[in-house]
Amino acid sequence: MRPAQALIDLEALRHNYRLARRLGGGKALAVIKADAYGHGAVACARALEAEADGFGVACIEEALELRRAGITKPVLLLEGFFDAAELPLIVEHGLWTAVASQWQVDALAAFRTEAVLKVWLKLDSGMHRLGLSVEEFRAAHARLSTLPHVGPMVLMSHFARADELDSTRTQEQVDTFNRAVEGLAGETSLCNSPALLGWPQVRSDWVRPGLMLYGADPLYPQPSPHAAQLRPVMTLQSRVIAVREIGIGEPLGYGARFVAEKPTRVGVVAMGYADGYPQFAPNGTPVLIDGVPGQLIGRVSMDMLTVDLSDHPQAGLGSVVQLWGNAPTLSELAPRCNTSAYRLPCSLKRAEKIYL
């Protein structure tokens, strides 16, 4: 069997969820969209179901996958419905929906049902992606409040730059939010992971942690005492499947991106960009070889990559090579590869997932 594996530590996931909930001081919606950022949405939802206040997903397809797997906790469609035709399914499966555009307000008002829907009304407080303007938001709140099929709402907004601790933008968004919700009935929800870790003064009834559940630090490399308590959930690893020595001046792999300046012992590892490892990881990208820090050399190919074993005399055929996990962490690895800690696990494919 090909030894490329993603080990997923569900106890670490629970630990990180508890940390997020404690930092938020209220309820926490575990964001498991995009297949739980590549970690497997159903497995993560099952691991958290006993304690999570609810789950956040990107679309009804993701929500129905959870319901089909027997998840009964609240599930929020973070972007709402894409089409009014989804509303009967939302009722049937007891889903919660964001309402973030005027056309969604209109569709909801025109919808007829005996059921009472749970709506998270979304304000655009400055990100300018989804959400209603302050005036639209207050008008929508008044209109939806009169509908018998809309229950108590949650008032939400989303931060654009909470990972930048020196930016004034997050506080400006909070001020806009406070102005918009003044006097309106409803619980509130603001914080994503970077806000939870970096803006402890921002309070709301519900927080919406995503990335931090998986143990990655969105504030890196800015120091954060809370982020230091996170535990990485995914360990991506494989094994050395071939070893060879190359002499001075000899090239390695596609494009001869690495040329040996000294006799070099090369380990070939069964892991490539088709597994989700970043294709453009440069020479020198950190890896762990049988637990000892080492480096990638040569261009990453679809199914294989190469590491320098010259300083690892103990390592050889069958040695375990860790690509990410406790070291290097997703947050350390991402900037070296011109990508983000969000994207790395989302790219995971083919490598077998093993739940611990």
Ligand X SMILES: *Cc1c(COP(=O)(O)O)cnc(C)c1O
Active site residue 273: no
Q: Would you count residue 208 as binding ligand X (CB under 6 A)? A: yes
Structure token pair of residue 193: 């992971």
For ligand X, the binding residue among 31, 32, 123, 190 (CB under 6 A) is: 31
Using the contact rule CB under 6 A, the part of the chain among 62-70, 110-118, 188-196, 224-232 near ligand X is: 188-196
Active-site hit among 17, 33, 118, 273? 33
Structure token pair of residue 212: 């931090």
Q: Would you count residue 41 as binding ligand X (CB under 6 A)? A: no
Structure token pair of residue 86: 């989804």
Instruction: Identify the residue whose tokens are 């390592």.
Output: 315
Nearer CB in complex with ligand X: 78/202: 78
Active site residue 33: yes
> Minimum distance from CB of 3 to ligand X (Å)?
30
Q: Would you count residue 32 as binding ligand X (CB under 6 A)? A: no
SS3 call for 276: coil
Asked if residue 19 lies in contact with residue 212, where contact means CB atoms within 8 angstroms, the answer is yes
Total interface residues for ligand X by CB under 6 A:
12
Q: Which of 234, 246, 245, 263 is nearest to 331 (CA)?
A: 234
Asked if residue 292 lies in contact with residue 316, where contact means CB atoms within 8 angstroms, the answer is no
Q: Which of 192, 196, 236 is nearest to 38 (CA)?
A: 236
Using the contact rule CB under 6 A, the part of the chain among 141-149, 209-217, 280-288, 316-324 near ligand X is: 209-217
Q: Would you count residue 158 as binding ligand X (CB under 6 A)? A: yes
Nearer CB in complex with ligand X: 112/129: 129
Instruction: Identify the residue whose tokens are 């970096």.
Output: 198
Nearer CB in complex with ligand X: 78/309: 78
> Minimum distance from CB of 16 to ligand X (Å)?
11
Q: Would you count residue 173 as binding ligand X (CB under 6 A)? A: no
Q: Which of 272, 278, 275, 271 is nearest to 340 (CA)?
A: 278
Tell me the CA distances in angstroms from 163 to 202, 206, 210, 341, one per residue in order. Answer: 14, 19, 13, 12
Q: Point out which residues bind ligand X (CB under 6 A).
A: 31, 33, 78, 158, 192-194, 208-211, 218
Q: Give catalytic residues, as residue numbers.
A: 33, 254
